[in-house]
Structure 1
Amino acid sequence: MFLFYNSHNLRLFVSKKKFMKRKQRNKYNIVVGMPSYNESDTISNVTKVLGEGLEQYFPNQKSIIVNVDNNSPDNTREAFLDTKTFIEKKYISTAHGIRGKGNNILNLFRFAKTVDAEVIIVVDADLRSITKEWVKYLGKPIVDGYDYVLPLYSRHQFDGTITNHICYPVMFGMLSMDIRQPVGGEFAFSPKLMKYWLTQSWTESARQYGIDIFMSLNAVLGGFKICQAGLGTKVHKASAPKLGIMFEQVIETLLAILVQNKDAWMTRNNGGIFTPDTFGLDVLAEPQELDIDILYLKEKGRMSYNKYQTDIKELLEPYAFSRIHEMFEVEVFDLTILLWTQVFYNLLYRYDVSKNDEERRKIINALEPLYFARSLSFNYHTWKYNVKYSEMEIRKEALGFASQKYYLWGLYSKGNKLKPEKTKKTS
């Protein structure tokens, strides 16, 4: 009974006690990983700040900072190892020719498992806004018994568009989880969750940019204890140049995991949305200024639409195709939340019932110009407003995904494909 009534305090005490023993065993209590590729201009400062944070907030723990790299040709390795810190550092690279953030994270998992780490923290190597407090905000909840800590940032409304218009609304609407940054890039996790991830099926897209959504979805679907940490403003390199390939890999991972776990969202009712506990900063500063090239995005979207127009016409309902075709014809974008949600759910259903990889690839390709159309519609609607207003609009989008869940269920009811897809898991 004592254990039950004092579970929170006892957990913290036991965890700290185990930390002290672990240090004596010549193992690492805390592993901080930085996945990278060609980040020589930013990685040194990130490393320095991480070292300061570990010294200040975890002074009695045996810690190590690990750069998990893709054999960067720009001296990322040297910039990392030459940074002066009191915390030990280690460089790990994928083999020559092997790329992908997910492959870097997989190397980090293997290292952390080998050294029996109690807390694993990950931050991107291109950060310009990191502070030493991030180490505390991300690491302490794991010490206190949480399995997964996700970030809360203030971000410009035009930053993180895949998160804003797909990953966050899907997590909110389909899984009833209000996790604002499921693909944020900064997070912490327990060894228990890490070992669970290692037992899941690692597709090629999960080994690339799909790794963040792979981790977040599996943490939610696995029933792990999740919280969020307010970190403040995220300032980093713009991801627009990588948007096409990033979109493809994130969406392929997202759709594959959703159809593999259909029982989790087909049977989950709409009784309420779960909001995880939040630690760290309560008030987030104003986000970085972000210049967006609307003409570039319109051109990317138009080229993508022209390339996949035939497939889109085949996949969408006539009313939806007609509306979207008109947008690209006149280049005036007004893809509403309702239409966007129904289009996404329709393509998710078609992805599930598709018979082969070629059909599924066609669906992912078709989603790309539609995603550009939704992003442009949002940009036109919010460009003159502040971030707070834009966040309200993103929240409306998430609520739209939740309210249209019955539309998705209706597609399955008509198609009579209600059983979850079976997949073989590999370690």
Structure 2
Amino acid sequence: MTDEFLRQLINVGEVDILIGVPTHNNAKTIGPVIQNIQAGILKCFPRERVVIINADGGSRDGTPDLVAGASISDAQHVSNLFTLRTLHSISTQYADGPDAGAALRTMLAAAELLRAKVAVVVSPDSVEPQWIQRLAVPIYKDNFDLVTPVYRRHKFEGLLMRTLLYPMTRAVYGYAIREPYASEFAVSDRLATDFLATEEWNDELGRIGPEMGLTTKAMAGRFHLCQAFLGTKAPVEGTSSDLVAAMRRTVGVLFSSLDTNFPVWSASNGLAPVPTFGSPAEVTLEPVSVDRNRLWEMFTTGVSELEPVFRSILSPSTLQELVGLASGGNG
């Protein structure tokens, strides 16, 4: 932490709830996100001490200024609600480039310093006001340690999550967590302190996939986990899908945890209860536009870049067939 950031945190004092927003060049979306966070706080936590912490990875588009300049009066005017506490909004730069591990570590360290009972982390791209309550309340009032989201998805969305991450974490760790890797979640002070003490921050997987690492840490440590239904998550425009990078920060972290946590999961027996608050998840069937050329490009690139991994886990005949499919042209 920088001296200036520490000074700002000391001026804030102890809080009940911390809302963390990691950013890197999110000027197009951060304004509405901060306003929706403020609206959620005004509606659900008007008496609590709340702070918004923006951990920025060296934005060049003025994102931190938009966060620091966001006025609670704008949200009050729209919602006609008022808070009995001062709502602080602080932005700090943790690095000169995006680093998911450093961003999460900064926000959790701030939560620990401010003695927050719960730290809610949300995406800088989109958030709904009611998400703040749905993520925070299970920890703040019901003593859970980790709240992960459940989204209303189309059947073509979240395939990596639904077909690999969810069934594998359920089978290995015994927790039916629908979104073990998520951009929206909430952490208790107990879990935050435990996770901050881990050595995973120092390796590559800890820097690129801390969200998955947090979930596996919570499952292996037998913390109290639950889920909150958030509804539909708006797609982010202009983002590219890098399959290899996604595999590294999700599957890579999950596989790495298997070795570290072998004594825990090898001795587990049956499923642990994971309550879900809100409506059940839905898989929708509305027509969507599918870019088949983009899907084919992702497949061929993934096979090429992940071939060393496939070679170590697939039989020669299966690998040969997979490579043959990738080189066969887009039919």
With over 3 angstroms needed to count, the CA separation of the structure-2 counterparts of 1:257 and 1:308, relative to structure 1, is closer
Q: How does 1:16-415 map to 2 (within 5 A)?
A: 26-85=13-72, 87-96=87-96, 98-127=97-126, 130-143=127-140, 144-201=142-199, 202=201, 203-208=203-208, 210-237=209-236, 239-269=239-269, 272-282=270-280, 291-306=289-304, 309=307, 312-313=310-311, 315-330=313-328
With over 3 angstroms needed to count, the CA separation of the structure-2 counterparts of 1:255 and 1:41, relative to structure 1, is same
Q: Secondary structure at the match of 1:192?
A: helix
Q: Kindly provide the amino acid, as one letter, of the partner of residue 316 in structure 2.
A: P
Contact kept, 8 Å, 1:233 with 1:287, in 2: the verdict is no
CA-atom RMSD in angstroms: 2.6
Q: Kindly provide the amino acid, as one letter, of the partner of residue 44 in structure 2.
A: Y
Contact kept, 8 Å, 1:234 with 1:288, in 2: the verdict is no
Structure possessing the higher radius of gyration over alpha carbons: 1
Q: Distance in 1 between matches of 2:41 and 2:317?
A: 56
With over 3 angstroms needed to count, the CA separation of the structure-2 counterparts of 1:236 and 1:85, relative to structure 1, is farther
Contact kept, 8 Å, 1:182 with 1:213, in 2: the verdict is yes
Shift of 1:309: 4.5
Identity of counterpart residues, as a percentage? 25
Shift of 1:190: 0.7
Q: Distance in 2 between matches of 1:58 and 1:308?
A: 47
Q: Kindly provide the amino acid, as one letter, of the partner of residue 38 in structure 2.
A: G
Q: Secondary structure at the match of 2:207?
A: coil
Q: Which runs of 5+ in 1 are unaligned?
A: 1-24, 334-427
Contact kept, 8 Å, 1:66 with 1:91, in 2: the verdict is yes
Contact kept, 8 Å, 2:55 with 2:107, in 1: the verdict is yes
Q: Distance in 2 between matches of 1:196 and 1:234?
A: 29
Contact kept, 8 Å, 1:185 with 1:212, in 2: the verdict is yes
Q: Which runs of 5+ in 2 are unaligned?
A: 1-11, 74-86
Corresponding residue of 1:344: none
Q: Kindly provide the amino acid, as one letter, of the partner of residue 82 in structure 1.
A: G
Shift of 1:287: 8.8
Shift of 1:250: 2.7
With over 3 angstroms needed to count, the CA separation of the structure-2 counterparts of 1:314 and 1:77, relative to structure 1, is closer
Shift of 1:290: 5.3
Q: Kindly provide the amino acid, as one letter, of the partner of residue 324 in structure 1.
A: L
With over 3 angstroms needed to count, the CA separation of the structure-2 counterparts of 1:206 and 1:309, relative to structure 1, is closer
Shift of 1:89: 0.4
Corresponding residue of 2:77: none
Q: Distance in 2 between matches of 1:311 and 1:103?
A: 27
Q: Distance in 2 between matches of 1:125 and 1:288?
A: 26
With over 3 angstroms needed to count, the CA separation of the structure-2 counterparts of 1:33 and 1:323, relative to structure 1, is same
Q: Kindly provide the amino acid, as one letter, of the partner of residue 140 in structure 1.
A: V
Q: Distance in 1 between matches of 2:114 and 2:285?
A: 37
Q: Distance in 2 between matches of 1:124 and 1:293?
A: 25
Q: Distance in 1 between matches of 2:52 and 2:287?
A: 30
Count of aligned pairs between the two proteins: 303
With over 3 angstroms needed to count, the CA separation of the structure-2 counterparts of 1:37 and 1:160, relative to structure 1, is farther
Q: Distance in 2 between matches of 1:282 and 1:317?
A: 39
Contact kept, 8 Å, 2:180 with 2:215, in 1: the verdict is yes
**1:383-409 CA distance string (max 9 Å, x none):** xxxxxxxxxxxxxxxxxxxxxxxxxxx
Q: Distance in 1 between matches of 2:139 and 2:313?
A: 44
Q: Distance in 1 between matches of 2:135 and 2:65?
A: 27
Shift of 1:231: 0.8
Contact kept, 8 Å, 1:183 with 1:213, in 2: the verdict is yes
Q: Kindly provide the amino acid, as one letter, of the partner of residue 143 in structure 2.
A: G
**1:97-131 CA distance string (max 9 Å, x none):** x421221111001111111111111110101xx32
**1:327-371 CA distance string (max 9 Å, x none):** 3344689xxxxxxxxxxxxxxxxxxxxxxxxxxxxxxxxxxxxxx
With over 3 angstroms needed to count, the CA separation of the structure-2 counterparts of 1:159 and 1:75, relative to structure 1, is farther
Q: Distance in 1 between matches of 2:233 and 2:93?
A: 26
**1:149-175 CA distance string (max 9 Å, x none):** 110111233333332233212111211
With over 3 angstroms needed to count, the CA separation of the structure-2 counterparts of 1:78 and 1:176, relative to structure 1, is same
With over 3 angstroms needed to count, the CA separation of the structure-2 counterparts of 1:314 and 1:132, relative to structure 1, is closer
Name the one with the larger helix percent. 1
With over 3 angstroms needed to count, the CA separation of the structure-2 counterparts of 1:285 and 1:63, relative to structure 1, is farther
**1:35-81 CA distance string (max 9 Å, x none):** 11111111111111111111111111111111111011111112222
Contact kept, 8 Å, 1:233 with 1:288, in 2: the verdict is no
Q: Distance in 2 between matches of 1:307 and 1:31?
A: 39
With over 3 angstroms needed to count, the CA separation of the structure-2 counterparts of 1:216 and 1:290, relative to structure 1, is farther
